[in-house]
Structure formats: structure tokens, C-alpha cells
Amino acid sequence: MAAEEPGSVGRPPACLCVLCGLPAAGKSTLSRIIVGTAAQQQGWRATVVPYDDLIPEHAFQTRVEKDTEMHTEWRLHRQAVLQCVEQFLQNPRGMAEPPSSSRIDAAAWERCVRALLRPEGLKSDQAPLLLLLDDNFYYPSMRYEARQLARKYSLGFCQVYLQCDLETCISRNRSRPRPIPSDVILEMVKRLEPPNPQKNSWETNSISLNTTNSLSKCDVQKVMELISSALSNPLSPAEDDTEQKEADRLKCATSVVHQADQACRRLVSEAMKAARERRVPSERMRSLAAQLNESKASFLQNLRKQLLQDATCIQEEDINLEHVVNRAVDVFDGTRKEILSRVMNDCE
């Protein structure tokens, strides 16, 4: 069967719903409830696209010594998931298989598709499709990629942010069969940028749920109403210059901050090495490391905010990224030297 073009009349209505939040915030629990509710109460064909199951476990491992390569590799895995979703959207009546070069788990993807092809109790293949994208989606740029796909195929699009306090997430994570390291969650807290319709106009169709406690029937109802609205108001593939500029600025900021992060890590390592060579006591070394890392995190957070507000940061090819990164890192280097000098003087 030939692939159907975006906006094809024969394609059933569909919606991409992004579930975002910290690990163990309750995304998987919510998705299971929504899938059941969608089928039983609405007659929709629904499935969960669980990034944790689709992306191989080795891709989640942190390799500090090759962090730049790891970042690129991680992005390729995430893009492979969306490529498989797109392949299914092109032919929603057939069993879509991951490309031979795919970086995702074929068996896990097959389970996702089968849930849509053979929904229990549903006979019509024109029933609305609901795909719940279950991942942390901590950067807006990650969520925007899903929105671009929805707009390309004139789908509904919405976002559900699961807000859960850090202690609860860590506690829930520890009780899992395969818990992730707590420091990964702590690092994600620093990077997490929840949907913000005031800053990003394309995130208007979003809601936030407090999932520190159990999900309520009211919470589920809010999500179902959000999805119903998205299905009834699919995105248009028509270009929007304002939105595109917003997206380009977001992409540019993400790239600059990532490169600045790598440079700052090297500067922190150099400072620690210099302190060891001066035989700084272990207690002071721990203090130095804490001060440097705290300063780096604050610096990167402020840098990202500044870039998102900077009208000149539009497209990566339009600016000298290396110059922007170097200029930004020079600011952190000055702070780093002050901290190192202060610790050295205290030890004399």
C-alpha cells in the first residue's frame, strides 16, 4: 500500500500527546489509564510510545569522557523513535517495521503498533488514533520535534506535564526493578524546562498535573478533554514565520549551551587538577568542587535564558557559534579563577 500524504482524506484523525516530567513522576501510570479510557469510553485506538523501552539501555549510560559523542548518539536514538512514528502515520493500516538501520528495539515497536492495529472491541480502522509519547522531554526543543511531526501530518498535538516533587520521584525510582541513578534525576532537575505557553506560543495546548500523590479521576478527565480538543483542532502544515523563528532560537540556544557545557567541564577539571598539584586538603577539594559545579550550573542556566531572549540568536548557520561559545565561556572562566584563587589562599 502506498504511503498516504500529509492531510490525506483517507487517514483517520490522530493526535500526538507528549507526556513529560521527571523519571518516576507517574507518566507510565497515567499513560496506561489513558489508553484504557480512550478505548473503553471514546472508541479510540490508542497506544503508548515508551522511549525507555524503545531506546536500547546502553544509550542511557553516561560516558563523561565522550560526552559530546554521547549527546549526538542520544539525539539520533530519539530521532529514530519519531521516524518510526512517522512511518506508521504514512501507512496506519499496515504493520510498520523499524528501518533496518533503526536504533530502536524492534520488538518494543511492534507492540506499540499492534495495539493500534488490533484494538480490542473496535472494528473500524477509521477510529481516531492516539499516540502517547512517554519520555522526560525536559527541553522544549525535544517536545518541538514531536510538534513538527504533528503539524506535518495535520494531527492534533498536546502536552501533559507531570509535576512531582523530587523526593517522591527518587523514592519511587528506588522501588523500581531497574532504578536509574539518583544523580541522573538530580541532574535532570537542573535541566527540566516545563511547558511554558507564555514563552513558547506553540505550547498553548498544554496542562500540568500535580502527581506527587495519586492521580485522581479529575486528572484523567482533564487529560481526556485536552486530547479531545486536540483531535478536533488538528495543526495546519502552513508555515508560520513567528513560530519558526521561535523554534530556530530554541535550537540555537540549545546548541550553544551544550557546547558551553563541554568547555566549562574542561575548565572545572583543570581547576581541580591545579588544586591537587598544590596539595589542597581533601576537605577543601570537596568544597572547591561543589562551588565550581554550582557556579557552572547557574552560569549555564542564565546563559540559556539570555540566548532565548536574544533576537540575534536565530539560526546556527547565521551566527558564529564558536565565537558565541568562547565569549560566554570566558565569563565562567573568570568566576572559576576567582573561586580557585580564594580556595588556594585559604590553604596558605
Query: One digit per residue, pLDDT tens: the chain, 348 residues?
Result: 344 444 445 678 999 999 999 999 999 999 999 999 999 899 899 999 999 888 876 665 543 333 444 455 667 888 889 988 998 888 776 655 665 556 788 888 888 888 787 555 555 567 899 999 999 998 888 899 999 999 999 999 999 999 999 999 999 999 988 888 888 899 888 889 999 998 888 999 999 999 999 899 999 999 999 999 999 999 988 655 566 667 777 777 888 888 888 889 999 999 888 888 888 888 888 888 999 999 888 888 888 888 776 655 544 444 566 777 888 888 888 888 888 888 888 766
- Decide: 119 and 4 in contact? Cβ < 8 Å: no
Which residues contact residue 186 at a Cβ distance below 8 angstroms, ignoring those fewer than 6 apart? 166
Please classify residue 191 by burial: count the beta carbons closer than 10 Å to its beta carbon, then call 0-12 exposed, 13-18 middle and 19+ buried: middle
According to the model, what pLDDT value does residue 324 have?
75
What are the beta bridge partners of residue 129?
A: 14, 45
CA dist., res. 201 & res. 195, Å (int): 10
Closest CA to 38 of 220, 272, 252, 253: 220
According to the model, what pLDDT value does residue 146 have?
94
Domains of the chain (ranges; CATH) run 14-232 (3.40.50.300), 241-346 (no CATH)
According to the model, what pLDDT value does residue 79 have?
86
Grid coordinates belonging to 43: 472508541
